[in-house]
A and B are shown apart, each in its own frame.
Chain A
Amino acid sequence: MLPRKGVWVFLPLIGFIALAILLASGLGKNTEDLPTALAGKPLPQMQLPSLLRKGNVVDNRLFEGRWTLLNVWATWCPTCHIEHPYLLKLAQRGVAIVGLDYKDEDAAAKNYLANLGNPYVEVPVDASGAYGLNLGVYGAPETYLVSPQGDIVLRHVGEMNERVWQAKFLPLMKEPSDIKLQVEAQ
């Protein structure tokens, strides 16, 4: 049935080594590092209603003049719940976070912020997910770093925490006003 002698006995091992290299590559990059086609480009044009200030329209002017985090969240997303306390901490340190409420129900979102605290300077509502599509959102939570010029600098998929903040976000924020932030964080 099988060849008398031969290399076939090594085939499973070779197959596994290939698989392990593939997995290791996935591990190194991690799905959190989904590259964004928009890196270095301006934030897509935003015209969205505000969740908490009735009648207000949120647009790109909100992002000008300071480093801003754009956090894509929703009440239906368990990981958003996990990262929420950390976002509150960041907000306390003076980081401006805009929370894009993604494919969510307004009432539930209001309740969520009322119960757990609101880390956001503003909450634009993207009920249909159309803005998320422009932004290339893969799934909540995602966090984008927007420069004072209104350009997207970084995209992070998944939970925000101290490790990610220190390793990925802080090194990119080189404006003098942000060095103060860095000192406070340490």
Chain B
Amino acid sequence: MIAEIGHLSLWLALVFAVLQGVAPLLSYRSQRLSWMLVARPAAWMQWLCLSAGLLALGYAFAYNDFTVRYVSEHSNSLLPLGYRISAIWGGHEGSLLLWVWMLSFWGLLVSLLRGKVPAHVNALVLAVMGLIGIGFLLFMLLTSNPFDRLLPWFPLDGADLNPLLQDPGLIIHPPMLYMGYVGLSVAFSFAIAGLISGTLDPAWARWARPWTTVAWCFLTVGIALGSWWAYYELGWGGWWFWDPVENASFMPWLCATALIHSLAVTEKRGLFRSWTVLLAIVAFSLSLLGTFLVRSGVLTSVHSFANDPERGRFILCFLAVVIGGSLTLFAIRAPVLRARTGFVMLSRESFLLMNNLILLVATFVVLLGTLFPLIGEWLDIKVSVRSPYFNAFFVPLTFLLMAFLVPGMSSNWKKQRASVLAKKLLWLVPVSVLAGSVLVYLAGSLPIAGWLALSLCAYVWIAHGVDVVQKALAFRSGVFKGLRRLTAGYYGMVIAHCGLAVLVAGITLVSFHEQEHDLRMTPGESAEVGGYEFVFTRLVDREGPNFSAKQGIFAVTRFGQDVATLTPEKRRYYSGGQMMTEAAIDSGLMRDLYIALGEPLDSDAWAVRIYYKPGIIWLWLGAVIMALGGALAIVDRRYRRAIAPESELSAEQPGSDLPDRPAVETSTKSPQEA
């Protein structure tokens, strides 16, 4: 009964999505605002219906209703309640429901947090989101209904959730990632609404910018969580595999990062309009492409859902309509958007353009590597593209990105005198080389690439530290008062950039200094890895709620002092008989110690993997710092205050973004086009 209510509420949601998508577009020409505003209550109702659907599925899981096929395939009566709930998004149908629910949730937020966005633009944005919702709801209802029943012959118990997914990291990883993916639909909808109405001015960028940043924050955290989960749950000790599905989440991230920067240019200077719109379209298109890759079976990956070509065909048609349609709209409308102002070769704009180019090249590299198996089929070569290919591109691209980041941040908008910039920054080169060398000395010897990476990290940190102090002093009211007058948006940028450097430093350390040992050990034996002594004390049997496990107990010491006791497990899940490796990790700021039990060998010997991973935690710390920077930028006051009239937009007030150059900025209004 509950499942049928859930199913019905999905159809109702579709009705409201149609209303939300179609009403504003039909009445836009005749400018009947009251009809356009139907989109808002429709968005609320769509969200309510989908929430009811999600609750109904949650209810079926909580009460072990194995007559529902999706529940019987992804749950089991022995599964703990927490995992039964997270099993809602453990498979294709349920994760799709979560996807659509989030889309409607973003729609709800857009309709409620309207700010100063004009009502008709808001309605257009909601309409585009409604159209996307129609596509996904149809996809779910026609090919992947989570409420299908298995009647009259239903199993007495479920097949269980894939043990890989029975993990706290996996409870929050997909929702975070989906929030990011789906959040990019807001930027996309703003872009389409702007193309339709022809108002892609700096005010437009100001409305779209915080939404993009929020989505980017979720995406950053989601990807970091996925990488962390792969590290401790898959038992391989790696943190990034260039797997098609990982790439599918990384491409929208790269693109969204570029979009954040180009939105800054559009907001401050009114430039790059068509470019920004294109990026917004591409970023969301890439997250749709990710959905396609995971669910169509075109590429094989550890993440793929059990798949079906029917679904693949449906999504491909959907992609063709959404992406093809929006790019056509772009091609027709973009020529209207050109700004008439320009900028010279050396300016903040040119550095941000460089940032965009680097990030787009990176996106293209990932896209090519991911799709190469398909391209190879045309060329009749079967090669799998692996990390050497990606590393060959990503190491230099990251170096370039970091090198350009500092002069970009330190330059003026519109025009930057080279001599001033050189005077401001040249001293940084010897200082960061020196600081990098000190870091290399502390970390232990590194090859040239590692030394260059750490020097660049030092360069980013020092430059930003100095810049904060200089900008604070520019208010001429003392450092501390000055620090308080700097905006949240500025601090957000500084923190995010420093987070990037933390991440790069972590990758450098763990790439060059990790130690991995595959050993054959019997209880009582010991081994030395990375200066730590690991003693395999004993092996015990342990019973979990839905599995039995062999647990190894390892005592770790260093210089005779106790460091930790680690208990890696080899689990066998009752329902499927699957064997799972549960690694044990002692995490620290400077290093992780990682033990995984491999296979039992003869007598009571075991294959044991012991890893020493210096600095690996910085990777995720760096990502979290970047997301925090983004979060800080969103609370900036200028997004909450009334949107200024056009003429005031380029007249930056002191402290709004560039506190040391208020006088220059007020005199250079960017002429607005019709």
Contact = CB atoms under 8 A, between A and B. Distances in A.
Interface of A: 1-2, 4-5, 9-10, 12-13, 16-17, 19-20, 22-27, 29-32, 75-76, 78-79, 81-82, 105, 107-108, 111-112, 115-116, 138-139, 157-159
A185 to B, nearest CB: 19
Interface in B314-373: 316, 319-320, 323-324, 327-328, 330-331, 334-335, 338, 342-343, 371, 373
Contact of A9 (B300, B323, B331): B331
Contacts of B320: 20
A12 B278 contact: yes
B312 interface: yes
A82 B306 contact: yes
A47 to B, nearest CB: 23
B578 A76 contact: yes
B599 to A, nearest CB: 6
A125 to B, nearest CB: 14
Contacts of B334: 9
**Which 9 A-B pairs give the minimum distances between C-beta atoms?**
A26-B298, A13-B327, A112-B577, A26-B374, A9-B331, A9-B334, A27-B312, A10-B331, A12-B327
A17 B324 contact: yes
A105 B374 contact: no
B550 to A, nearest CB: 11
Given A23-B316, A27-B312, A82-B306, A13 B577 contact: no
A111 B572 contact: yes
Contacts, number: 104
B579 interface: yes
B378 interface: yes
B150 to A, nearest CB: 12
B162 interface: yes
B579 A75 contact: yes
B330 A30 contact: no
Interface in B285-330: 285, 292, 296-300, 306, 309, 312-313, 316, 319-320, 323-324, 327-328, 330
A30 B327 contact: no
B335 A16 contact: no
A24 B318 CA distance: 12
A138 B373 CA distance: 13
Given A31-B299, A31-B300, A12 B282 contact: yes
Interface string B584-628: 000000000000000110000000000000000000000000000
A31 B371 contact: no
Given A27-B312, A30-B298, A31-B298, A22 B371 contact: yes
Nearest to A31: B300
B159 interface: yes
B551 interface: no
10 contacts: A9-B274, A12-B327, A20-B320, A23-B296, A23-B374, A27-B312, A29-B377, A82-B306, A105-B599, A138-B300
Given A9-B330, A105-B599, A75 B578 contact: yes
A138 B599 CA distance: 22
B644 interface: no
Given A31-B298, A32-B297, 11 more contacts: A9-B330, A12-B281, A13-B330, A20-B316, A23-B292, A23-B371, A26-B374, A30-B312, A31-B297, A76-B578, A76-B579
A115 B296 contact: no
Contacts of B312: 27, 30
Q: Is the interface of A mostly helix, strand, loop or mixed?
A: helix
A35 to B, nearest CB: 9
Interface string B157-182: 00100101000000000000000000
Interface in B369-411: 371, 373-375, 377-378
A31 B309 CA distance: 10
Interface in B527-570: none
A111 B378 CA distance: 43
A16 B285 CA distance: 10
Nearest to A34: B382
B296 A27 contact: yes
A75 B288 CA distance: 33
A116 B579 CA distance: 15
A115 B342 contact: no
A144 B335 CA distance: 56
Contact of A78 (B281, B578, B599): B578
A138 B579 CA distance: 21
A76 B579 CA distance: 6
A82 B217 CA distance: 36
Contacts of A31: 297-300, 373
B578 A13 contact: no
Contacts of B378: 22, 25
B306 A79 contact: yes
Interface string B164-206: 1000000000000000000000000000000000000000000
A26 B577 contact: no
B306 A16 contact: no
B374 A16 contact: no
Nearest to B574: A115
B576 interface: yes
Nearest to A5: B335
Nearest to B325: A13
A127 B191 CA distance: 55
A168 to B, nearest CB: 12
A3 to B, nearest CB: 10
Contact of B577 (A2, A116, A157): A116
Contacts of B162: 78
A139 B300 CA distance: 9
A22 B274 CA distance: 27
Nearest to A113: B577
A91 B101 CA distance: 42
A26 B244 CA distance: 14
A61 to B, nearest CB: 30
Contacts of A12: 278, 281-282, 327, 330-331
Nearest to A32: B297
A31 to B, nearest CB: 5
Given A9-B331, A105-B579, A16 B298 contact: no
Contacts of B298: 23, 26-27, 30-31
Nearest to A13: B327
A30 B297 CA distance: 7
A32 B307 CA distance: 11
A38 B466 CA distance: 66
A20 B285 CA distance: 12
Given A12-B278, A25-B378, A27-B316, A108 B306 contact: no
B602 to A, nearest CB: 12
A26 B377 contact: yes
Of the candidates A16, A25, A108, the one having the most CB atoms from chain B within 10 angstroms of its own CB is: A16
B377 A81 contact: no
A42 B320 CA distance: 43
Contacts of B278: 12
Nearest to B299: A31
B547 to A, nearest CB: 13
B272 to A, nearest CB: 8
Given A5-B335, A27-B309, A115-B577, A16 B377 contact: no
A75 B335 CA distance: 58
A2 B341 CA distance: 12
